[in-house]
Amino acid sequence: MLRLAGAAVRFPGRAALDGIDLDVAEREIVCVLGPSGSGKSTLLRTVAGLQPLDAGRVFLDGRDLRGVPAHRRGVGLMFQDHQLFPQRDVGGNVGFGLRVRGTGRAERDARVGELLDLVGLPGAARRAVGSLSGGEQQRVALARALAPRPRLLMLDEPLGQLDRSLRERLVVELRSLFERLGTTVLAVTHDQGEAFALADRVVVMRDGRIAQSGKPLEVWQWPADAFVARFLGFENVVGARVTGRVADTPWGGIPVPEGSAQGPGDLLVRPAAVRFVAASEGLRCTVTARTFRGAHVAVRLDPGGGAPALEAECAVRAAPGPGDEVGVVFEPADVVVLGGREAGAGRAP
């Protein structure tokens, strides 16, 4: 439904978008994930018609959008800061787009009521926006973006300003809402949790380019390169040389899955791959920190000898504490030779 072909935007001194090719299918929820400054907002602004392209094309339903003004594109954009109009009540905010298009009062009121029900704020039309909590304002902004029934809904950091527990709840609600409505969604965020919970497909951006695109589970299991792996929060990423089933690393020889790409490359050792054994066996490490993360514990290890720190995870009751000496061995099922996906390496999802 949406296609970007070679889309490029240059600002003085740098390219915000550097040749983006991206397709979004009807009813698909695509989430663009990337660090601040990677070009996410610029991408949405080009599709919305708020930022002209320096090269490339944007197509919606096969139609080239060049020269089509923003209000004729049939796309809804919910901005990063989702500013509501403070002088209008909730209904005035939600109905704004309809009013601009000349939709009559009765139809507008009906649609506003319907949308407020949908976002879980029934009967809130006459409330002042100043009396709403952050989460409620976010819902009103979403209802406002949905009101004109856009062909494509674009969300810029939709839950960025909310606290963690509210964000986790809303993201699940959003996903089921979009599924029910059959909305096609292109969302951008710098938060991996948000992207992975919301998306049918995740697109990781770096410096105006696409670093990886795939189903959330695929991207999680097989990050394309060291940048993507680190951005997803994995810390055990090192240069290695793979020979047969063993990778030579600063942590010693680590077993890799059958079929892994051979030769020099980057290796991801998931924390789950690090197993504790007696201090006299395996790679000897000193525990430097221990962090409780709900059901498991993240353990930081210093292998000594100038080798990089290792991140491990284990059950709460089995967790060693700071200062403890431990031995570690590695489980190949949670070791990934990055970029080796084509070779069919690694565990099937």
213 binds Mg ion (CB under 5 A): no
Question: Where in 5-64 is the site for ligand ADP (CB under 6 A)?
Answer: 11, 14, 16, 34, 36-42
Q: What's the min distance (Å) between Cβ of 336 and ligand ADP?
A: 26
CA 202 to chain centre: 6
Cα separation of the two ends of the chain: 28
How many positions of this chain bind ligand ADP (CB under 6 A)? 11
Q: What's the min distance (Å) between Cβ of 31 and ligand ADP?
A: 13
Per-residue tokens: 338: 């990055």
Q: What's the min distance (Å) between Cβ of 131 and Mg ion?
A: 28
Per-residue tokens: 201: 């497909």
Identity (one letter) of the amino acid at 218?
A: E
Closer to ligand ADP at the Cβ: 38 or 93? 38
Question: Where in 305-334 is the site for Mg ion (CB under 5 A)?
Answer: none
189 binds ligand ADP (CB under 6 A): no
Triad 177, 180, 183: Cα angle to 5°: 80
Start-end of H helices in 13-77: 40-48
Closer to ligand ADP at the Cβ: 34 or 92? 34
Q: What's the min distance (Å) between Cβ of 306 and Mg ion?
A: 38
Triad 53, 63, 202: Cα angle to 5°: 65
C-alpha closest to that of 116 among 96, 144, 89, 97: 144
Start-end of H helices in the chain: 40-48, 90-94, 96-100, 105-118, 134-146, 164-181, 192-198, 216-221, 226-231
The answer to whether the CB of 249 falls within 8 A of the CB of 240 is yes
The answer to whether the CB of 143 falls within 8 A of the CB of 94 is yes
Q: What's the min distance (Å) between Cβ of 36 and ligand ADP?
A: 4
Closer to Mg ion at the Cβ: 116 or 171? 171
213 binds ligand ADP (CB under 6 A): no
Question: Where in 37-96 is the site for Mg ion (CB under 5 A)?
Answer: 41
Q: What's the min distance (Å) between Cβ of 205 and ligand ADP?
A: 7
- Partner interacting with residue 34 (select from Mg ion, ligand ADP, none; CB below 5-8 Å by kind): ligand ADP
Burial class (CB in 10 A: 0-12, 13-18, 19+), 94: buried
**Per-residue string for binding with Mg ion, 4-43, x by CB under 5 A?**
-------------------------------------x--
Which residues of the shown chain bind Mg ion in the complex (CB under 5 A)? 41
